[in-house]
Structure 1
Amino acid sequence: MMRIRHFLAGLTAILVAACSGDEPVFVPVMAEDLARTIAQGELVGFETETGAAAWMAVPYAAPPEGELRWRAPRPPLAFAARYEALAAGPACPQVTNTLSAGDEYDTGILIGAEDCLTLDIYAPRNAAPGDDLPVMMWIHGGANTWGSSSAYDGSNLANERGVIIVSVQYRLGPLGFLAHPALRAEAGIADDAAANFALLDLVAALQWISGNIDAFGGDAGRVTVFGESAGAYNIAGLMAMPQARGLFHGAIMQSGGTASVPLDVAENGGGLDAVAGLAAGEVIAGPDATGTAMRAASLAEVYAPYRDEDGELTSMPRMIEDGVTLREGGILAAAEDPDGFAPVPLISGTNRDEMKLYTVFDPRLTRRLGPLIWLRDRDTYEAAVEYPSRIWRYNAVDGLLDRLAAHGRDDLWSYRFDWDEGGSVLITDTGELLGAAHAMEIPFVFNHFELFGSFDRVLFTDGNADGRAAIADAMGAYWSAFAETGQPGDGAGVGPGWPRWNDAGAALRFDSPDDGGTAVFDRLESPELIAEALASDPRIDDTLRCGIAGGITRRQPVLDPAFDSALDC
């Protein structure tokens, strides 16, 4: 993942000679008819380039800095004057990587500001207070270590589907997830003793929506949370935490997860990849670190335990079973409890080729010449991607939905995103290399094909425009129908009825019309089925077969028995 941006930039450079002229820069202009009064005071928005209404960087909590660092969010401050919500706010503190760096920053640069708990609102241009439109709160991905709300433009989804889109920022990395006894010792309120401060941020955003969204035409009684990757993972956390109950009424998890770390491991070590909280505190504020000293440390000192000699992030805290936001056993334990998981309708799905984003540079599978890259052998490449992608689906979909269904829940749906028609440059075929990779569905959901920077010109072409439009129409229709009614149905007539989750693994597949379009299919996943399929796959030899199995079980040792019984490695 850390090298993918170099690849994308190299491919895009090939196109420079064929592309001329700079696109005009859109400058937001305050629109007086988009003035709104909320609890904090008056704010005013603007009309977006695509004709929606928008209000950017609206604070939903007090700045979590100084004495409020590593505490539960506090209520937002009143506006000192009319708030002009015209521009994106600063991202939460993060270290740039090869996906997030750009012309302005190199990789390994600490950017952002702690005063970052803001949200962006998009509405149909004519939406007015009291319209009671469905609300969809987007939670961005980025491994819970990077990203920002402004990277996602909700204009088209809001305008075309008659919904209010709220894109929210939350604390990232060690500011969002950290367990240390000194922080608990100085708790001012009960939630200050948590370790998952990012989850509490998202609760605060939902509380803000509950109290203020009517001013923008939204219905606080119909709030759907949706998000991708870490955003979907955080939705699973919201579903499992008591503080979020009653604040949202539906959830859509796109390529999420369910893992969590016991509190003792988070503090003392023993996990696979995270710096222990106690060790981090010692680096931040010395061997006898107090909460006061840790809160007084600079951002550079806060991030120091997690950076290598090149300044790149090495390992970061993960979602923690802190006993305040998440119970012992975490998300899955909550899902196994009839009263432990939010009783709201849930859609969970994945992309067919999730792992292609992480496999494209494996020298055993691809060849590379400068910015160009191509497959050594298609069958081998597809096999190497298929099994960890299926495990991802088991974790995010089958394993979770089966637990919920076991308690009689029938308000569950699943999907798979299969689009693999990305464009080509010379011998580099992004349809083969990336296919339906991780994050590829996001532009389709938003019907806004500007997400990957200049690489969008390579991936999204005139040749695949019609197929993309058909998928975007379908996904937008099903997502908004779910937000409006609590069930996706047939997407208000755009496609087949979406079957509820059952013991056959019923799901909806999203693809272009040339590849079968939107269609119902059944596909169950389990570690045993995946291991058995890997063991008998004729496309690969035993060396690669065992390498794939080892990669899976290193990340999830709990799967060892299933793969050990199926393979002789």
Structure 2
Amino acid sequence: MNDTQGHAPPVVRLPAGRLRGEIDGGLAVFKGVPYAAPPVGDLRWRAARPHPGWDGTRDATAYGPSSPQMFMEGGDPVLGGHGFPPFDDDCLTLNVWTPAVDDARRPVLVWIHGGGFVSGSGTLPIYSGETFARDGDLVVVTLNYRVGPLGYLSFDDDDDEDEAGEEHPANIWLTDQLAALRWVRDNIAHFGGDPEAITVAGQSGGAMSTAALAGHPEAQTLFRRAILQSPPFGLHIPTRDDYRRRVSAYLECAGVKTVDELRQLPWPQLVEAAGGLFAHTMRWGYWPTPFLPVRDDVTLFRHPMEALLHGAAADLDVLIGWTREEANFGFALDRGYATATREQVLGRIAESFGEGAAADVYAEYARSRPGAQPVDVLMDLITDELFRIPCVKLAEGRAALGRPVWAYQFDFPTPAHGGRLAAAHCLELPFVFANFDKWSHAPLVEGIDPAVGEGLARTMHQAWIAFARTGDPNHADMAAWDPYRSDTRTTMRFDSVTLPVDDLAGHARRLHQRALAPK
């Protein structure tokens, strides 16, 4: 046992070797801990493999490098950046925050970052486990995994097999996350955590990852609760055959013909080629996703949303939600979309609802938002298709099965950029983590009244802690939050005043039932 109030650095002895961390803010923190072998050289685009271990005592006081990804000097106008140097192929590390290195068997929260499958890192200050570990007496783990071309490409001429001798998986990123969860299960007791009380949480692409992990055959042995923040369940998940065209397009962008040639390229060239794939796959009115999970029938057997309705995943406790204006994150500041015409938006609606229904659907959306411009209708359509409606369908499916699920909608708007972002994708993150001090670089939070923001942050943060500890998000400082059921459809509305609302997404749910009708 180590005294986290003292000055001696905490040391743990793992099967792989000894680790020396540091005391920071009264917590024992271990950074840059390898959970799998470095995926370099011939191990590029191969499933994560066990780390061989190390001799002596390994220093764990500095973060490991993030997965190679695009980087914009000066940041972006919403998040101010979502991945920062250093980047390196050798990126499979994780970080642990714990109140004490003891045998207390605390509940464990594993956070999987999002980033559209192309960006993000478990080392970002905004995802620091400090607040959850301190405020909830939890052990918190964040991780780096391969993103972009290094994590979301696979090749038919790669004859590698996984440990079970099965076909090579298409989802390299998922093998990383599985390896990290196995590491947590096998090692977290050394950090004061309970391997039988693990919650996996993620936002956006990280929420999609969480659902995909739940659908893996090992799910029942790896975790028992899932928090899904803004999962883009509306994405089409291609089969391996469908995805081959995208892989071929990437090879063309990279200027090579084979995976062996690709393995010789330095990672900056791989990231540069990803920019070409963005252009190749972009469609007007759709969220850009050059890389996608693949239903390979090795690691992923069905759409991640459907995974949570089957097998061991159906028994997990699930908390799921979305923000009211998800799509504003990617489109509201784009001048090309700001000047969208009614005819353009009608054409986009027709792709989902059919030509005959497009005008009525447009009118329904416009009525729900007084003074709506064409871009507002488009934002609501994209939000519904990609996030809100699929999340509601999952809640409906689990309710019909009698499985536990709590639903929320985040409604609090940011005043940033003249209010154009509203309650955009990612805005709930500083409230969930209760760490506005880590978001000073992000335009997204500019202008938020500290008193209102901190009050809502306390409410959400404590709900997430309660769920990780008990499987129920209720706590004393919030109105009663009932599970989502078929008769009530209770959804917690997080805003300056937080209250449960029955069938909060009812208008969108009924409207999108038309999309299922024959066109």
TM-score tier after normalising by the smaller chain length: 0.7 to 0.9
Question: Which secondary structure state, in structure 2, belongs to the residue aligned with residue 388 of structure 1?
Answer: helix
**Corresponding residue for 2:239?**
262
CA–CA distance in structure 2, aligned partners of residues 390 and 137 of structure 1: 28
Q: 1:331 offset after TM fit, Å?
A: 2.4
SS of the residue corresponding to residue 454 of structure 2 reads: helix
Given that 1:285 and 1:297 are in contact with CA atoms closer than 8 Å, whether structure 2 keeps it comes out as: no
Question: Aligned to 2:143, which of 150, 168, 182?
Answer: 168
Aligned with 2:322 (options 347, 350, 353): 350
Show the 5 A alignment for 1:44-443. 44-48=20-24, 50-97=25-72, 112-124=87-99, 127-151=100-124, 152-183=127-158, 185-187=159-161, 189=163, 190=165, 193-258=168-233, 259=235, 260-267=237-244, 269=245, 276-281=246-251, 286-287=256-257, 289=258, 292-303=260-271, 305-308=273-276, 316-327=290-301, 329-335=302-308, 338-339=310-311, 341-363=313-335, 379-380=372-373, 382-406=376-400, 408-420=401-413, 422-423=414-415, 428-429=417-418, 432-443=419-430
The whole-number CA distance in structure 1 between the counterparts of 2:480 and 2:442 is 35
Partner of 2:491: 507
Q: CA deviation at 1:467?
A: 1.5
- Check whether the contact 2:107–2:138 (CA below 8 A) recurs between aligned residues: yes
Residue in structure 2 matching 1:39, options 2, 7, 15: 15
How many equivalent pairs are there? 470
Measured at CA, do residues 203 and 339 of structure 1 come closer, stay the same or move farther in structure 2, by a change above 3 Å? same
Q: Is the 8 A contact 2:479 2:498 kept in 1?
A: no
Whole-Å Cα distance in 2 between the matches of residues 438 and 482 of structure 1? 22
Shift in CA distance, 279/358, structure 1 to aligned 2, threshold 3 Å? closer
SS in 1 for 2:51: coil
Report the Cα distance in structure 1 between the residues aligned to 2:278 and 2:396, rounded to whole angstroms.
43
Counterparts of 2:228 and 2:278 in 1: how far apart (Å)? Answer: 34
Q: TM-score, normalised by structure 1?
A: 0.74
Question: Residue 208 of structure 1 aligns to which amino acid in structure 2?
Answer: W
CA distance in 2, matches of 1:252, 1:107: 21
Separation in 2, partners of 1:390, 1:311:
24
Judged with a 3 Å threshold, the aligned counterparts in structure 2 of structure 1 residues 92 and 399 are, in CA distance, closer, same or farther, namely same
Instruction: State the Cα distance separating 1:96 from its structure 2 match.
Output: 1.7
Alignment CA distance shift 1:284-1:508 (3 Å): same
**1 CA distance for matches of 2:327 and 2:73?**
17
The 8 Å contact of residues 107 and 197 in structure 2, kept in 1 or not, is answered as yes
Say which SS state the counterpart of residue 313 (structure 2) adopts.
coil
Q: Is the 8 A contact 1:34 1:46 kept in 2?
A: yes
Would you say the 8 A contact 2:46–2:160 is kept in 1? no
Find the aligned partners of 1:99 and 1:518 in 2 and give their Cα distance: 38
Q: Secondary structure at the match of 1:129?
A: coil
Which residue of the partner structure matches residue 480 of structure 1? 465
SS of structure 2 residue aligned to 1:438:
coil
8 Å contact kept, 1:349–1:396 = no
The separation in 2 between residues aligned to 1:117 and 1:108, in whole angstroms, is 15
Q: CA deviation at 1:451?
A: 4.9
CA distance in 1: counterparts of 2:194 and 2:312, whole angstroms: 26
Consecutive unaligned residues of structure 1, counting only runs of 5 or more, are: 1-28, 270-275, 368-376, 533-558
- The Cα shift of 1:390 comes to 2.9
- The amino acid across from 2:263 in the alignment is R
Classify 1:364/1:303 alpha carbon distance in 2 versus 1 (closer, same or farther; 3 Å): closer
In structure 2, the residue matched to 1:13 is: none
Offset, 1:409: 3.4
Q: Deviations over 1:139-166 (max 9, x none)?
A: 0111111111111122122101111111
Provide closer, same or farther for how the CA distance between residues 51 and 192 of structure 1 changes in structure 2, counting only shifts above 3 A: farther
Aligned to 1:536: none
SS in 2 for 1:215: helix
* Stretches of structure 2 lacking an aligned partner (at least 5 in a row): 283-288, 340-369
Letter of the structure 1 residue corresponding to residue 498 of structure 2: G
Residues 395-422 of structure 1: per-residue CA shift (max 9 Å, x gap): 441122223333x2321111111112x4
Query: Normalising by structure 2, what TM-score?
Result: 0.81
CA RMSD in angstroms comes to 3.4
How far apart, in 2, do the equivalents of 1:326 and 1:410 lie? Answer: 22
> Contact between 1:61 and 1:118, CA under 8 Å: does it hold in 2?
yes
Map of 1:555 onto structure 2:
none
Give the whole-Å Cα distance in 2 for the aligned partners of 1:497 and 1:203: 35
Cα distance, 1:385 vs. partner?
3.1
Rounded to whole Å, the distance in 2 between the matches of 1:221 and 1:340 is 15
Q: What are the superposed Cα offsets for residues 312-341 of structure 1, whole Å, 9 maximum, x if unpaired? A: 9976321001110112x43245455x4273
Using a 3 Å threshold, how does the CA distance of structure 1 residues 173 and 502 change in structure 2: closer, same or farther?
Answer: same
C-alpha change, 1:156 and 1:334, in structure 2 (3 Å) is closer
Whether the 8 Å contact between 2:27 and 2:130 is mirrored in structure 1 is yes
Shift of 1:36: 1.8
Any idea what SS the aligned residue of 2:315 has?
coil
Q: CA deviation at 1:364?
A: 7.5
Q: Would you say the 8 A contact 1:149–1:168 is kept in 2? A: yes
Letter in 2 for 1:449: F
2:365 corresponding residue in structure 1:
none
- Contact 1:496 1:520 (C-alpha < 8 Å) held by counterparts: no
Cα-to-partner distance string for 1:3-46 (whole Å, 9 max, x where unaligned) = xxxxxxxxxxxxxxxxxxxxxxxxxx995242222222222222
Deviation at 1:457, TM superposition (A): 9.6
1:459 CA displacement: 1.4
**Partner-residue secondary structure (3-state), 2:52:** coil
How far, CA to CA, are the matches of 2:405 and 2:306 in structure 1? 18
Q: Which AA in structure 1 matches 2:15?
A: A
